[in-house]
Structure 1
Amino acid sequence: MNTSTSITREKILATAEQLIYQNGIQATGMDLLVKTSGVARKSIYRYFATKDEVAAAALNARDVRWMNWFRAESDQAPDARARILNMFTVLKGWFESEGFRGCAFINTAGEVGDPQDPIRLIAKLHKQKLLAYTLELCEQLDIADPDPLANQLLILMEGAITVARVMGDYSSADNAQAVARLILEKHLAAEA
Structure 2
Amino acid sequence: MNTTETTDPRTRVVQTADELFYARGVSTVTMDQLRDASGVSLKRLYSMFPSKEDVVVGVLERRRSIWTEGVESLIDAAPDARSKVLAVYDFLAAWFCDADFRGCVFVNTFAELGATSPRVAAVVREQKAAFQQRMAQLVTQLGGSELLAAQLAILAEGAQTTAAISGAPDAAAVARAAAETLISAEL
Q: Tell me if the contact between 1:48 and 1:54 (Cα under 8 Å) persists in the aligned partners.
A: yes
2:109 alignment counterpart: 108
Aligned structure 1 segments of 4 or more residues deviating by more than 4 angstroms: none
- In 2: Cα distance, 1:75 partner to 1:27 partner: 38
1:3 alignment counterpart: none
Counterparts in 2 of 1:7 and 1:72: CA distance versus 1, 3 Å: same
1:27 alignment counterpart: 28
Question: SS in structure 2 opposite 1:170?
Answer: coil
Q: Tell me if the contact between 1:115 and 1:121 (Cα under 8 Å) persists in the aligned partners.
A: no
1:69 correspondence with 2:92:
no
RMSD: 1.5
Shift of residue 65, structure 1, vs aligned partner: 2.2
Q: Tell me if the contact between 1:74 and 1:90 (Cα under 8 Å) persists in the aligned partners.
A: no
- When normalised by structure 1's length, the TM-score is 0.89
- In 1: Cα distance, 2:14 partner to 2:152 partner: 31
Cα deviations by residue, 1:138-166 (Å, 9 ceiling, x for unpaired): 110124xx211111001100111111000
> What amino acid is aligned across from residue 179 of structure 1 in structure 2?
A
Counterparts in 2 of 1:176 and 1:63: CA distance versus 1, 3 Å: same
- In 1: Cα distance, 2:35 partner to 2:85 partner: 41
- In 1: Cα distance, 2:133 partner to 2:73 partner: 15
> What amino acid is aligned across from residue 151 of structure 1 in structure 2?
A
Q: Tell me if the contact between 2:103 and 2:164 (Cα under 8 Å) persists in the aligned partners.
A: yes
- In 2: Cα distance, 1:97 partner to 1:128 partner: 25
> What amino acid is aligned across from residue 46 of structure 1 in structure 2?
S
- When normalised by structure 2's length, the TM-score is 0.91
1:117 alignment counterpart: 118
Shift of residue 95, structure 1, vs aligned partner: 0.2
Q: Percent identity?
A: 33
Shift of residue 86, structure 1, vs aligned partner: 2.1
1:174 alignment counterpart: 173
- In 1: Cα distance, 2:161 partner to 2:10 partner: 31
Shift of residue 75, structure 1, vs aligned partner: 2.8
> What amino acid is aligned across from residue 120 of structure 1 in structure 2?
A
The answer to which of 29-38 and 83-92 deviates more is: 83-92
> What amino acid is aligned across from residue 78 of structure 1 in structure 2?
P
| 1:59-98 map, 5 Å | 59-98=60-99
Question: SS in structure 1 opposite 2:122?
Answer: helix
2:146 alignment counterpart: 147
Rg comparison, structure with higher value: 1
Q: How many residues align?
A: 181
Q: Any gaps of 5 or more consecutive residues in structure 1?
A: 1-5
Question: SS in structure 1 opposite 2:124?
Answer: helix
